[in-house]
Amino acid sequence: MTTLTHLQRLEAESIHIFREVAATADNPVMLYSIGKDSSVLLHLAIKAFYPAPLPFPLLHVDTTWKFRDMIEFRDRRVAELGCRLIVHINEDGLKAGVNPITSGSRLHTDVMKTQGLKQALDRHKFDAAFGGARRDEEKSRAKERVFSLRSAEHRWDPKNQRPEPWNLYNTRKRPGESFRVFPISNWTENDVWDYIALENIPVVPLYFAAPRDVIARDGALIMRDDHRLVPRPGEVVERRMVRFRTLGCYPLTGAVESDATTLADIIAEMRASRSSEREGRIIDHDGAGSMEQKKQEGYF
Amino acid sequence: MSAALALDFPPRPAPAIDSRGAEATLLRLLTCGSVDDGKSTLIGRLLFDSHAVPDDQLAALGRDSKKFGTRKDHLDFALLVDGLAAEREQGITIDVAYRYFSTRRRSFIVADTPGHEQYTRNMATGASTADLAIILIDATKGVLPQTRRHSGIVSMLGVRHVVLAVNKMDLVRFDQAIYRRICDDYRDAVSSLGFTVVTPIPLCARDGDNIATRSDRMSWYGGPILLDHLETVQVEAALDSRPVFQFPVQWVNRPNADFRGYAGTIASGSVAPGDAVTILPGGQAGVVSRVVTADGDLDLAREGQAVTLTLAAERDVSRGDVIVTAGASLSATHGVTARLLWMAEQPMAEAGSYLIKLGTAVANASVARLRHAIDIHGFMPKPASSLAMNDIGVADLRFDRALVAAAYRDSRALGAFILIDRMTNQTVAMGMVESAAIQPDLNETAAGITSGAVIPLPRAPREAAGILSGLPRRRARAAWVHRLPGAAVLFVLAGLVTRDPILAGVVAVADALLRPAAVRAAAAVWPDMFGDSPGTA
C-alpha cells in the first residue's frame, strides 16, 4: 500500500472541509474571485460533491475594476460548468465615485470589496462563505483557522477563535454569526500551480506572459487594461512581455516581466523566484500589520 | 543512530522539476520549546535554508531585525515566523501558527506552538495532526521539567517520532560530553512514553549548524542532520497493521432518485466494490457496489482518500454513521472513559452536559464522573473535582445516543473528539477515548491511583501505541469484552455460511480467544524501535 502524495493528501483534506460545510451550514456560498486560487477551489468543490451539482452558488464581489480577461473567463467558466453565479457590486460606492486611482487603494478596497462583500452576505443571508485564502500568503494568516467565526457584524476577533484539533471542526454558531471557511488553508503557491498542472485546471490567461501595455508607476508595472487609467505627465505606456502572479483590480496589481508562456514555464519560474506573490499587491504595503487590520474589519 | 537510519527511505531519483509536486510526500511536524530555546529561530532557519523565504520578505526581515530583533546586527530568523501584531510586541507566540516549506523529496507543514504551560492546549492542537515532533532543548540548560511536559503531551496525542534538537551548542563550546549527557537524560525522562524513534541532533540554529549543512564545528557527530532526517524519515509504518475499513459518513450525496452515495474520508483500511460492510451504530449489513470519485470509479480506495460509496441495496445511512468491514470488532457505545484536555477559560462543570463531536457524529454527552486529573509535569494522576483550562483528566462520559467509538490508540478517527459548550458554542475540550465503554470500577484505590499513570511499557509496538495507558489488567479485560460483539457477528456469519452451528461456535470462540495471541505474535515479529542510542554514531 503506497503512501498518498502530498497533493493527494491536500486534496482529500480540502474535500473533507467542503463536505463538512455542506452537511452543517444552512446557506453556504463560495466566494469566487476568478484567480488561480479560486480556480483550484472551484475544481475541488466539484470533486467534493460529484456526481451532484455544486450545492451552493458562487459569489463574485465585482469592484468594476477587474481585468477584462477576468470577467470574460468568469462568465465562460460558469457557463461551461453550469454553476449559479451571483455578481454583487457596491452601488453606493459606485455612485460615490470611489475608484482605485483617485480614491487610493485603501478606500477603494474597503468600500468596493470589504463593504461590498458584507452587503452581499447580508442580502442573501449566507451563513458560511468559502474563500481561497492560504496560510502561506502572509504572516498574519499563518494562524487563521479553517473555520473562521465572524460576528453578525462580520468582525474577526483574534481572541475568540476556536481551537481546531485533528479534523474536528466546530461548526456551531449563533443566529447572525457566520463562518469564513478556507479549504485550501494548507496549500502553498507551489502546491496550487502543481495541482493546476496535474489536474489541467483552466486559469485566466493573464497568468501567462504576453506582450501587454504597461505603465511604470510607484515601482510597479500597471497594465493599462482600459482607458480609465490615464498616464500621468511623464509616464509612458510601454509594450512589455509581462504576466501576473496574482489578480485583482488592475490599477492595483503589479505585473512582472516574464517569458513564461506555459504552465511548465510558470512553475519553473516560480521555483527559481526570489519574491513573494503578494509583492505585486499594493494593498498589502499600506502599513505594518495592515492585512491583520483589514481582516479584523471583515476583509476576507 | 542505527535505528533511525534503518528506517530511511532509499534515495529516490530526483524528479524533473515540473513534476516534483506530484511526487512529493507530506510530513506534518510540530515544534515544541519555549522562545528561549530558539524555537522560532530554528523554524525561521529551516524556511531560510530550504529557500522558502522570498527576497522581499528577507528585505523586510532585515528591517524588522533592526527594529525588533534581539541581535541588532544580524538577521533574526525568529521574526520570520512571528504572527499577530500583539504577539510581535510581546515577543512571544501565543497560538498555533502553520508554516510551509518544501524540498525535492517532501513538503512540510510545521505547527509552531508556544511552550509555556498556559498554552498546553495550543501544543496539543498542533500535535493532533503531527507525524513527528521536534523537541527543543537549550544545551546550556539541559533537560528541564518543560521538556518532559512537552514530550508527555506529544506522546499523549499519539506522535511516535521525535527529534531531540539540542540547540545552542555554540554556547557549550560544541562539547560532545554535554550533548551525550543531555541525550541520556532525555532517554531516561521519556523511556515510558513509547516513542518509536527518538533521533537526537546537536544544533546551532542561529548559524545553521546541522540544519541543512553538516557542521564542521561538531565533527564528532556522525548522525543525520535535521533537514535530511525530516526528508527521509518513514512515519507511516503502522499503516498496514490496521486493515479494518472504517468510514465515517460525512454527507449523503443524493442529487436525484437514481443516485444515493455516502461521502466521507476513509479513516483506516481500504475498500473495494463487492466488500461486505456493516453500518454502525445500526448494525445493518451491506455490500459496497461502487467507489465513486470525480476522476472515475475506483477499484480500490485506501486510508486518507475522500470518496463516495454506494451500496448494492438501499440502506438507511446518514451523517454520523460509520461504515466498517463486516465482522469488524467495532460497536456502538453509550459512554466512554476518556482523557480530556480542557481548553476553555470556563472550567469543566460538575456533571456538566456538552455536545460531543466524534468522527462525523454529534451527540449530547454528560460528565458522569471525573476520575482524576493528571499532573502534566510528572504525568501522574492527582485527585480533582474539576478541570480548568489546560488541565488534563480522565473522565467517564455518557451519551444520549449510541456512538461508534474506539480507543484512540487504535483509531484516531474514532477515538478523538471535541466537547462543545451548548451555550457559548466554544470548543471546551479535546478528548481521546481510552476505553470505548465506561470502565467498571475496580478496587478504587488501585484504579484511582494508577489509571492514566505512566507505566513503563513492555517494548512491543502494540503496547507502545498506548502511551499513557491504564492498568494492563483493566485493559486486558476491556479488550476481552470488546471482542465479544465481533465474535458474535462472526458466529452468525459463520453459521449462515456453513449452516453448522457447532462449527460456527468453534470459529467464534477461536476468534475471541486467539486474537490476542495473534497480536502478540505480530508484536514479537516487529521488535521495539526505541533502542536508539543517542550520540553514539
Read off φ and ψ for residue B250, nearest 5 degrees.
Answer: -100, -40
Q: Which chain B residues in 61-90 lie under 8 Å from chain A, judged by CB atoms?
A: 81-86, 88
Q: What is the pLDDT of residue B65?
A: 72
CA B323, CA B311: separation in Å to the nearest integer? Answer: 11
CA B464, CA B457: separation in Å to the nearest integer? Answer: 7
In terms of domains, do A52 and A177 share one? yes
Q: What is the pLDDT of residue A274?
A: 61
CA B323, CA B317: separation in Å to the nearest integer? Answer: 9
CA A291, CA A281: separation in Å to the nearest integer? Answer: 11
Domain assignment present for A198: no
Domain assignment present for B29: yes
ipTM confidence score: 0.90
The answer to whether the beta carbons of residues B211 and B169 sit under 8 Å apart is no
Beta bridge partners of B164: B135, B200
In terms of domains, do B217 and B264 share one? no
CA B235, CA B132: separation in Å to the nearest integer? Answer: 8
Q: What is the pLDDT of residue A265?
A: 94
Q: Provide the pairing of β-strand B106-112 with B132-138.
A: unpaired
Domain assignment present for A30: yes
Domain assignment present for B371: yes
Domain assignment present for B513: no
pLDDT tens readout for residues B489-517: 556 666 665 666 666 666 566 655 565 55
Beta bridge partners of B102: B107
Q: What is the pLDDT of residue B69?
A: 63
CA A243, CA A166: separation in Å to the nearest integer? Answer: 39
Q: Which residues of B touch A49 (CB under 8 A)?
A: 253, 263
In terms of domains, do B38 and B175 share one? yes
Which cell numbers in the block locate residue A89? 457590486
Q: Which residues of A touch B88 (CB under 8 A)?
A: 289
Torsion sign across C-alpha atoms B465, B430, A132, B44: negative
In terms of domains, do B78 and B211 share one? yes
CB contact under 8 Å between B98 and A142, yes or no, is yes
Q: Which of A166, A188, A279 sits opposite B100 (nearest CB)?
A: A188
Domain limits for position B444 = 332-453
Q: Which residues of B touch A23 (CB under 8 A)?
A: 250-251, 319, 360
**Mean pLDDT along residues B224-253:** 85
Q: Which chain A residues in 123-152 lie under 8 Å from chain B, judged by CB atoms?
A: 135-136, 139-140, 142-143
Q: Which residues of B touch A12 (CB under 8 A)?
A: 265, 304-306
Q: What is the pLDDT of residue B87?
A: 54
Domain assignment present for B526: no
**Mean pLDDT along residues B112-116:** 80
Higher pLDDT, B121 or B458: B121
Q: Which of B21, B265, B412 sits opposite A7 (nearest CB)?
A: B21
In terms of domains, do A31 and A167 share one? yes
In terms of domains, do A209 and A165 share one? no
Q: What is the pLDDT of residue B485?
A: 57
Q: What is the pLDDT of residue B35?
A: 64
pLDDT band at residue B157 using 50, 70 and 90 as cut-offs: very high
Q: What is the pLDDT of residue B443?
A: 41
Q: What is the pLDDT of residue A193?
A: 94
Domain endpoint, select from B302, B325, B348: B325
B430 and A CB contact within 8 Å: yes
How remote is the C-alpha of A231 from its chain's centroid?
Answer: 28
In terms of domains, do B51 and B139 share one? yes
3-state DSSP assignment of residue B165 = strand
Domain assignment present for B516: no
Q: Provide the pairing of β-strand A147-150 with A178-181.
A: antiparallel
pLDDT tens readout for residues A86-142: 999 999 999 999 999 999 899 999 999 999 999 999 999 999 999 999 998 877 778
Higher pLDDT, B228 or B105: B228
Q: Which of A10, A165, A275 sits opposite B56 (nearest CB)?
A: A275
Domain assignment present for A200: no
pLDDT tens readout for residues B24-42: 899 999 999 876 788 888 9
Q: What is the pLDDT of residue B346?
A: 93
Q: Please, what is the end-to-end C-alpha distance for chain B in angstroms?
A: 6
- What is the helix (H) or strand (E) element at residue A272, kind and residue range? helix A263-272
How remote is the C-alpha of B516 from its chain's centroid?
Answer: 24
In terms of domains, do A172 and A279 share one? no
Q: Which residues of A touch B430 (CB under 8 A)?
A: 163, 165-166, 168
In terms of domains, do B126 and B271 share one? no
Name the amino acid, one letter, at B516: P
Read off φ and ψ for residue A41, nearest 5 degrees.
Answer: -60, -45
Chain A nearest CA to B56, separation (Å): 5
In terms of domains, do A129 and A21 share one? yes
In terms of domains, do B70 and B187 share one? yes
Domain assignment present for B482: no
pLDDT tens readout for residues B262-295: 999 999 999 999 999 999 999 999 999 999 999 9
Higher pLDDT, B393 or B44: B393
Per-residue pLDDT of chain A (300 residues; tens, 9 = 90+): 467 999 999 999 999 999 999 999 999 999 999 999 999 999 999 999 999 999 999 999 999 999 999 999 999 999 999 999 999 999 999 999 999 999 989 999 999 999 999 999 999 999 999 999 999 887 777 888 999 999 999 888 767 788 999 999 999 999 999 999 999 999 999 899 999 999 999 999 999 999 999 999 988 999 999 999 999 999 999 999 999 999 999 999 999 999 999 999 999 888 777 666 655 555 544 444 455 555 556 555
Domain assignment present for A105: yes
Q: Which residues of B touch A271 (CB under 8 A)?
A: 17
In terms of domains, do B59 and B106 share one? yes
Q: Which of B21, B125, B308 sits opposite A164 (nearest CB)?
A: B125
A1 and B CB contact within 8 Å: yes
**Mean pLDDT along residues B448-473:** 32
Higher pLDDT, B133 or B471: B133
In terms of domains, do B139 and B201 share one? yes
Positions of E strands within chain A: 28-31, 58-61, 85-88, 128-130, 147-150, 178-181, 210-217, 220-223, 237-243, 254-257
CATH number (domain holding residue B26): 3.40.50.300
Q: Provide the pairing of β-strand B132-138 with B25-32.
A: parallel
In terms of domains, do A162 and A233 share one? no
Q: How many CB atoms lie within 10 A of CB B379?
A: 22
pLDDT band at residue B169 using 50, 70 and 90 as cut-offs: very high
In terms of domains, do A183 and A210 share one? no
Positions of E strands within B312-377: 322-325, 332-342, 353-358, 361-375
In terms of domains, do B64 and B194 share one? yes
CA B170, CA B148: separation in Å to the nearest integer? Answer: 24
CB contact under 8 Å between B417 and A168, yes or no, is yes
CB contact under 8 Å between A195 and B21, yes or no, is yes
In the sheet that holds A28-31, the strands lie side by side as A85-88, A58-61, A28-31, A128-130, A178-181, A147-150
In terms of domains, do B55 and B191 share one? yes
Q: What is the pLDDT of residue B71?
A: 60
**Mean pLDDT along residues B6-19:** 33
B102 and A CB contact within 8 Å: yes
Q: Which chain A residues in 246-265 lie under 8 Å from chain B, judged by CB atoms?
A: 264
pLDDT band at residue B242 using 50, 70 and 90 as cut-offs: low
CA A165, CA A187: separation in Å to the nearest integer? Answer: 18
In terms of domains, do A85 and A177 share one? yes
CA A250, CA B235: separation in Å to the nearest integer? Answer: 46
Domain assignment present for B387: yes
Q: Which residues of B touch A1 (CB under 8 A)?
A: 239-240, 270, 302
Q: How many CB atoms lie within 10 A of CB A143?
A: 20
CATH number (domain holding residue B257): 2.40.30.10
- Range from A94-103, B61-70, B472-481 carrying the lowest mean pLDDT: B472-481
High-pLDDT (> 90) share of chain B, %: 53
CATH number (domain holding residue A153): 3.40.50.620
Domain assignment present for A199: no
In terms of domains, do A25 and A167 share one? yes
Q: Is the pLDDT of residue B448 over 50?
A: no
Domain endpoint, select from B204, B235, B266: B235
pLDDT tens readout for residues B382-432: 999 999 999 999 999 999 999 999 999 989 999 999 999 999 999 999 999
Structurally, chain A folds into a number of domains equal to 2
The answer to whether the beta carbons of residues A178 and A127 sit under 8 Å apart is yes
CB contact under 8 Å between A1 and B26, yes or no, is no
Domain assignment present for A86: yes
In terms of domains, do A163 and A275 share one? no
Q: Tell which of A135, A162, A286 to mutate to test the B interface (max B CBs under 10 Å).
A: A162
B96 and A CB contact within 8 Å: yes
Domain assignment present for B470: no
Q: Tell which of A148, A166, A182, A282 to mutate to test the B interface (max B CBs under 10 Å).
A: A166
A190 and B CB contact within 8 Å: yes
In terms of domains, do B19 and B134 share one? yes
Domain limits for position A62 = 6-192+289-297
Q: What is the pLDDT of residue B526?
A: 47
Q: Which residues of B touch A285 (CB under 8 A)?
A: none
CB contact under 8 Å between B306 and A50, yes or no, is no
Structurally, chain B folds into a number of domains equal to 3
Q: Is the pLDDT of residue B116 over 90?
A: no
In terms of domains, do B297 and B426 share one? no
In terms of domains, do A273 and A293 share one? no
pLDDT band at residue B22 using 50, 70 and 90 as cut-offs: low
Torsion sign across C-alpha atoms A82, A83, A84, A86: negative
Q: Is the pLDDT of residue B362 over 70?
A: yes
A159 and B CB contact within 8 Å: no
A52 and B CB contact within 8 Å: yes
In terms of domains, do A65 and A36 share one? yes
Domain endpoint, select from B403, B431, B453: B453
pLDDT band at residue B4 using 50, 70 and 90 as cut-offs: very low
The answer to whether the beta carbons of residues B229 and B201 sit under 8 Å apart is yes
Q: What is the pLDDT of residue B1?
A: 33
